Structure 1
Amino acid sequence: MPESKKRTKKNKPQVYKAPRNLGKPESENPKWLVPTIVALLVIGLGWIVVHYITAGQYPLPIYNWNVGVGFVFMAAAMGLLTRWK
């Protein structure tokens, strides 16, 4: 009766090994991200505050649309916050 060939280490199936850095972020935040977010939030808030303090005359003579401009600055900052790692 014929005998089966014995397995050697060479013929063993390979076992998958997960990379060691699994779960770690690939890269850090860009250096410009945090200052840009803070600047946009401060500009937006400042825009709205100036509008209310000056009774709608400043920063632009577009009356209550100044509130919308301030919220656009703050919404842009929130959009950038989605890139935060």
Structure 2
Amino acid sequence: MPESKSRRRPARPVAEQAGTKAYKPNPVWYKPVMFGLMVIGLLWIITFYITQGAYPVPALASWNILVGFAIAIVGFLMTTRWRD
């Protein structure tokens, strides 16, 4: 009985494979900005609580908490794209 032909495809180079990207590290400024945003957001909230709403922006009242969390969350979201 004759053997069937092999169904193997020729190997493609790594650069041609679908869904793969070349490894690129983050820019030098990425890590300091990421950690800086997390710290600034935390300091914003702490300042609001310690001064009993007098600072950082008195006109925002309790919305200062949301502003602080938003700044910190941007920093945390940056961690998902961080490559060392």
* TM-score in same-fold range (> 0.5): yes
Which of residues 72, 81, 84 in structure 2 aligns to 1:83? 81
Counterpart residue number, 1:10:
none
Name 2:72's counterpart in structure 1: 74
Indicate the SS of the match to 1:82.
helix
**Shift of residue 17, structure 1, vs aligned partner:** 6.0
Matched, 1:33 2:36: no
Q: Provide the rounded CA distance (Å) in 1 between the counterparts of 2:74 and 2:10.
A: 47
The CA deviation at 1:18 is: 5.2
Offset of residue 82 of structure 1 = 1.7
CA distance in structure 1 between the partners assigned to 2:41 and 2:82 by the alignment: 20
* Paired residue type of 1:53: I
Deviations 1:2-60 (A, max 9, x none): xxxxxxxxxxxx842654xxx9x611121111000111011000000000000011000
- Is 1:42 equivalent to 2:31 in the alignment? no
Shift >6 Å, 4+ stretches? none
1:75 is displaced (CA, Å) by 1.1
Which ranges of structure 1 fall in alignment gaps of 5 or more residues?
1-13
Alignment root-mean-square deviation, CA: 2.5
How many pairs align?
Answer: 71
